[in-house]
Amino acid sequence: MEFVVLPDCPAAAGPAARLAPGRRINHASGRPWIVGDWPDDQVHLVVAGPRRMALIGQVTLDEAAAKDRLGRLRSLDEVDRIASRLVGSCHVLVSLDGTVRVQGSVVGVRQIFSAAVDGVTVAASGVAPLARLTGADLDESVLAARLLAPGGAPWPLAQRPVRRGVDPLTTGHWLRMDAEGRARQVRWWRLPEASRSLAQGAAAVRTALDEALAARVRPGRTISADLSGGMDSTSLCFLAAAANADLVTYHVAPLDSANEDTRWAHRAAALLPHARHHTLTADRAENLFDVGYTAEHANTAPEGPSTWASGLAHIRDLAHRARGEGSSLHLSGFGGDELFGRMPTSAWSLARARPIGGLLLVNRYRLANRWSWGATVRALLDRSTFAQNLTAVATRIGAPPPSLDEPDFGWVFAPRMPAWATPDAVAAVRELLTEAAGRTPEPLDADRTRHQALASLVFEGSTIRQVNTVLAGTGIAWDAPFLDDRVIEAALAVRVEERLASARFKPLLTDAVRGAVPAGILDRRDKGEFSAEAFRGLERNRARLLELCEDSRLARLGLIDPERFRAAVLNPGPMSHHLQPIDTTVACESWLRTHPQTTTDVQDTGVRR
- Residue 181 to residue 9: CA distance in whole angstroms: 6
Instruction: Pick left, alpha or beta for residue 287 (phi over 0 → left; psi -120 to 50 → alpha; otherwise beta).
Output: alpha
Task: Provide the pLDDT for residue 605.
Answer: 44
* 589 vs 504 pLDDT, higher one: 589
Q: What is the DSSP pairing of strand 183-187 with strand 99-103? A: unpaired
Q: Specify whether the CB–CB gap between 587 and 292 falls below 8 A.
A: yes
Query: Which of 34-38, 61-65, 573-577, 601-605 is least confident?
Result: 601-605
190-609, which class in CATH?
Answer: alpha beta
**Percentage of the residues of the chain whose pLDDT score is greater than 70:** 97
What is the C-alpha to C-alpha distance for residues 448 and 411, in angstroms, rounded to an integer?
6
* Residue 601: pLDDT over 50: no
Sequence-distant (6+) residues with CB within 8 A of 273 are: none
CATH superfamily for 2-139+156-187 is Aminohydrolase, N-terminal nucleophile (Ntn) domain (3.60.20.10)
Q: What is the mean pLDDT of the chain?
A: 92
Tell whether the model's pLDDT for residue 604 goes beyond 70: no
Q: Which residues contact 155 (CB under 8 A, 6 or more apart)?
A: 171, 412, 444, 455, 458, 459
Weakest-pLDDT range from 303-312, 331-340, 352-361, 472-481: 352-361
- Compute the average pLDDT of residues 374-397: 94
Give every CB contact of residue 7 below 8 A, 6+ residues apart in sequence.
100, 120, 121, 122, 177, 178, 179, 180, 181, 183
* Cβ atoms 82, 130 nearer than 8 A: no
Domain 2-139+156-187 shares a fold with domain 190-609:
no
Question: How large is the average pLDDT for residues 294-322?
Answer: 93
Q: Distance between terminal CA atoms of the chain?
A: 34
> What is the rounded CA–CA span in Å between residue 577 and residue 565?
16
The pLDDT > 90 percentage for the chain reads 77
State the Cα–Cα distance between residues 39 and 37, nearest whole angstrom.
7
Return the pLDDT at 341. Answer: 92
Label each residue of 403-425 as H, E or C: CCCCCCCCCCCCCECCCCECHHH
Tens digit of each residue's pLDDT (9 = 90 or more) over 251-291? 999 988 888 999 999 999 999 999 999 999 988 877 777 88
Residue 401, number of CB atoms within 10 A of its CB: 17
pLDDT interval class at 354 (50, 70, 90): confident
**CA–CA separation, 527 and 78 (whole Å):** 43
Helix (H) or strand (E) holding 115: strand 113-117
Give pLDDT tens digits for 511-531.
999 999 999 999 887 777 778
Average pLDDT for residues 136-153, to the nearest whole number? Answer: 95
How many residues are recorded in the chain?
609
CB 501 within 8 A of CB 354: yes
CA 385 to chain centre: 24
**Beta carbons within 10 angstroms of residue 599's beta carbon:** 9
Separation of alpha carbons 429 and 426, rounded Å: 5
Collapsed DSSP state (helix, strand, coil) of residue 596: coil
Cα 605 to the chain's mean position, in Å? Answer: 31
Binned at pLDDT 50, 70 and 90, residue 603 comes out as very low
Higher pLDDT, 132 or 403: 132
What CA–CA distance (Å, rounded) separates 417 from 150?
Answer: 9
Q: Which of 94-103, 232-241, 294-303 has the lowest mean pLDDT?
A: 294-303
Report the interhelical angle of 231-242 vs 261-270 (nearest 10°).
Answer: 10
Q: Under a CB-based contact definition with an 8 Å cutoff, are residues 114 and 123 in contact? A: yes
- pLDDT at 602 (0 to 100): 45
Is beta strand 51-60 parallel, antiparallel or unpaired with respect to 32-37? unpaired
Lowest mean pLDDT among 50-54, 130-134, 367-371, 435-439: 367-371
Distance CA 175, CA 148 (A): 29
Query: pLDDT: is 525 or 45 the higher one?
Result: 45
Instruction: State the pLDDT at residue 287.
Output: 72
Give 603: exposed, middle or buried? Use CB within 10 Å, 0-12, 13-18, 19+.
exposed
216-218-224 Cα angle (round to 5): 60
- Rounded to the nearest 5°, which phi and psi values hold at 99? -110, 160
Q: In the sheet where 167-168 sits, what is the strand order?
A: 23-26, 32-37, 2-5, 120-124, 113-117, 167-168
| Cis peptide preceding 156, ω within 30 of 0 | yes
pLDDT the model gives residue 290: 85
Per-residue pLDDT, 358? 73
**Cis ω before 150 (30° cut-off from 0):** yes
- Whether the pLDDT of residue 166 is over 90: the answer is yes
pLDDT band at 606 (very low <50, low <70, confident <90, very high): low
**Residue 307: pLDDT band with limits 50, 70, 90:** confident
Question: Rounded to whole angstroms, what are the CA distances from 568 to 63, 267, 336, 514, 545?
Answer: 57, 40, 33, 47, 11
**Residue 117, Cβ neighbours under 10 Å: how many?**
23
Least confident segment among 286-295, 374-383, 421-430, 592-601: 592-601
Q: In this model, does residue 314 exceed pLDDT 60? A: yes
Distance CA 4, CA 32 (A): 10
Task: Of 332, 403, 321, 348, give the one whose Cα is nearest residue 370.
Answer: 403
What does the domain layout of the chain look like in residue ranges? 2-139+156-187, 190-609
Give the phi and the psi of residue 54 in degrees, each rounded to 5: -120, 130
What is the rounded distance in angstroms from the CA atom of residue 40 to the CA atom of residue 328?
14
DSSP state string for 414-461: --B--TTB-HHHHHHHHHHHHHHHHT-PPPSSSSHHHHHHHHHHHHHH
For 336-371, letters b (16+ CB in 10 Å) and e give bbbbbbbbbbbbbbbbebbeeebbebbeebbeeeeb
Lowest mean pLDDT of 23-37, 394-408, 577-591, name the range. 394-408
Compute CA distances 186 → 8, 77, 189, 436, whole Å.
19, 9, 9, 19
